[in-house]
A = this chain, B = another copy of it.
Amino acid sequence: MKLDLIDTYQIYVEPFHVDFTGRIFMGLLGNHLLNAAGNHSQKRGWGIGALNETRHTWVLSRLSIEMTSMPKQYQHCQVKTWVESVMKLFTNRNFAVLDEDGNPMGYARSVWAMIDMQTRKPCDLLSLYDGDICNYVVPEEQNVCPIAGHGRFRFKDAQLARTIGTYYSDVDINGHINSIKYIEHILDLFPRERFEQGIRRLEIAYKTESYMGDSLSFYLQPVQSGEESCEPKEIDVEVRKNVSEESAGEVVCQAKIIFN
């Protein structure tokens, strides 16, 4: 049976998955997107399980989510996901989040690399398994993802907001700090009031892994808006590990938050 190029993944918003406004936490929405991606890959022979046999694995490089409305407690939604394009070292995967009636609530874009688990070096996606992945790229007219692409970050006067330790609950099965946990820790930098209207867009670029026991330092850089009197609605965040008096540490990830 030939599978559709676009997969549908059902999500249900559990009571413990919503914030104080009753909307799903952005990190948990990201988690659902990654599950939808994993599911789509796995059904097409490109899941982690199959890849592990040849010592390959997927690494998430970028994730940008932009929502016009956030799923609410007890809501049933669906995530559509598909492969937009494949290059030598990266593949672009897009997502649409739809409500019960199929109306779009938002979209997301992601970039993935494939690495060799032993060397940790990227692989050539176009030659792996004879380029089979190219069979899953959707025709252009089906690639409906009307949100901006991933932006570039330029940090020049970011201010240290918080340094935290990393613990047992932060770590995934690979021993790395879980990519979703970074999103949680980043959002935890902001006061309650900032979430009353919700988040419109989150972008995150993963640069290097961190591990249980690493310290993470979070630097904030407001992106200037015209209205200087208002709290800026757009903020860039750089996360560095193991910053000390002697060392500027190493960039782990960079993110942009745009509040409504």
CB closest residue in chain B, given A15 = B38
CB closest residue in chain B, given A74 = B49
Q: Given A15-B173, A173-B20, A173-B22, are A168 and B180 also a contact pair (CB < 8 Å)?
A: no
Q: Are B48 and A172 in contact (CB under 8 A)?
A: no
Per-position 1/0 for A79-118, Cβ under 8 A of B: 0000000000000000000000000000000000000000
Q: Are A175 and B20 in contact (CB under 8 A)?
A: yes
Complex: A52 Cα to B21 Cα, angstroms: 17
CB closest residue in chain B, given A175 = B20
Number of interface residues of A (CB under 8 A): 37
A175: chain B residues within 8 A (beta carbon): 20
Complex: A15 Cα to B41 Cα, angstroms: 14
Complex: A76 Cα to B16 Cα, angstroms: 20
Q: Is residue A260 within 8 Å, beta carbon to beta carbon, of the partner chain?
A: no
A interface list, Cβ under 8 A from B: 14-16, 18-22, 25, 27, 31, 34-35, 38, 48, 73, 167-175, 178, 180, 184-185, 187-190, 192, 195, 212-213
A15-B48, A168-B188 given; 7 more Cβ-contact pairs under 8 Å: A15-B34, A15-B35, A15-B172, A15-B173, A16-B172, A19-B169, A25-B169
